[in-house]
Chain A
Amino acid sequence: MTCADLDDLIEPIAAGDIVPSAEVRAHLAECASCGASLALATRIDRLLSTQVAPVPRPDFTAALIARMRRDRWRSEQMLDLVFNLAIAVVAVIAIGGLWIAFSSSGLGTVGATALNTAGHALAESAARAAPQAGIYMVTTVGLVTGLFLWWWAERGLGL
């Protein structure tokens, strides 16, 4: 057994992980250098194992929770922004697509004609109905009153 052989065993022996053989014990007893190395390794082991754990500041948990809330809020804001942007992009694409479809298929012209026809028909109907406006008004009031009474009676019965 040489000092070099023993050097790799010093730490396991100091940590109590291996029990030194008779040969190792004999070498340690007669070699001052190896004996001193073992004594130092044992001392290091003891110093390391008696360290006091450092503690974080008292508001560590509160600061952590606050940081988590901040991160969550930011991620929700980001999610909202992405969602809104996605909706806007989809809307623009849909409107653009419809516009292109109407333009290229000639439906746009048909649509304009249909709108004009509907506008004229509406104006004609309004002009025809104007003399009877009073009758329409009384009928509408009567209908609304009837519906209100029906709603009130139903509510009163607790239905």
Chain B
Amino acid sequence: MPSGMSDVSDSELVARCQAGSDEAFEQLVARYRVRVFGLILRTIGETTRAEDLAQDVFLRIHRGLPYFQGQAKLSTWIYRIVLNVCLAEKQRPVRIEVPAEEPGDEDHAPRELSTKDPAFAALELRDRLTKALAQLAPRDRLLVAAHYLDGVQYEDLAEAMQMPLGTVKTHLYRAKQQLRRLLTEPQVS
């Protein structure tokens, strides 16, 4: 990984990329690859395809950088490209991987395999949430992934999705409402 550029701001990094620095572009990839890959994987649910699409995103970034004038934040522009790539991806059934929780969550506590065990119930809830996420529309999955996985603010999401702030919030609330309803439906074994 290129050294000496980790402290450089996004706008400086863009300027160096526009000046033709391959090192700066590698740094840009290093800075955003986890976010881009994570968003795509959470949206389409297939690791190999997500890596290919993440590469497509960075190729588009590389081609678009000479024309990027910095009216939007670099991250916002990148989220917009991710959104376009994900929505252009052929619709296919998704298998979202089970989201792990950070250490310290009660799910990591010793558990017994009993339906009355809270830890088991939490594990089951997580599994059902994973399946429910797969049933959301791709745009809603991306919205949820961006907001929770990456901690993107509503304002940035609104700009990236070219939607009014209120609309983004409404979409996000409705997506979560749908998740809640899917989780309260009786399970079919």
In the complex the two chains form, is B177's CB within 8 Å of A47's CB? Answer: no
- A65–B51 alpha-carbon span in the complex (Å): 13
In the complex the two chains form, is A52's CB within 8 Å of B99's CB? Answer: yes
- A48–B180 alpha-carbon span in the complex (Å): 12
Secondary structure of the B contact surface, majority rule: helix
Contacts of B113 in A (CB 8 A): none
In the complex the two chains form, is B126's CB within 8 Å of A47's CB? Answer: yes
Contacts of B50 in A (CB 8 A): 56
Contacts of A45 in B (CB 8 A): 176
Chain B window 8-36, contacts with chain A (Cβ cutoff 8 Å), 1 for yes, 0 for no: 00000000000000100010011001110
Contacts of A64 in B (CB 8 A): 29, 55, 58-59
Stretch at the interface among B72-80, B82-90, B100-108: B100-108
Stretch at the interface among A19-27, A35-43, A109-117, A123-131: A35-43
User: How many Å from the CB of B34 to the closest CB on chain A?
Assistant: 6
Q: CB of A76 within 8 A of chain B?
A: no
User: How many Å from the CB of B8 to the closest CB on chain A?
Assistant: 17
Residues 41-94 of A at the B interface (beta carbon under 8 Å): 41, 43-45, 47-57, 60-61, 63-65, 67-68, 71
Contacts of A50 in B (CB 8 A): 99, 101-102, 105
Q: CB of A12 within 8 A of chain B?
A: yes
In the complex the two chains form, is A49's CB within 8 Å of B148's CB? Answer: yes
- A10–B180 alpha-carbon span in the complex (Å): 10
Taking Cβ atoms with an 8 Å cutoff, the residues of A that contact B are 7-8, 10-12, 14-15, 17, 37, 40-41, 43-45, 47-57, 60-61, 63-65, 67-68, 71
Taking Cβ atoms with an 8 Å cutoff, the residues of B that contact A are 1, 22, 26, 29-30, 33-35, 37-38, 41-42, 47, 50-51, 54-55, 58-59, 62, 97, 99-102, 105, 125-126, 129, 144, 148-150, 169, 172-173, 176-177, 179-180, 183-184
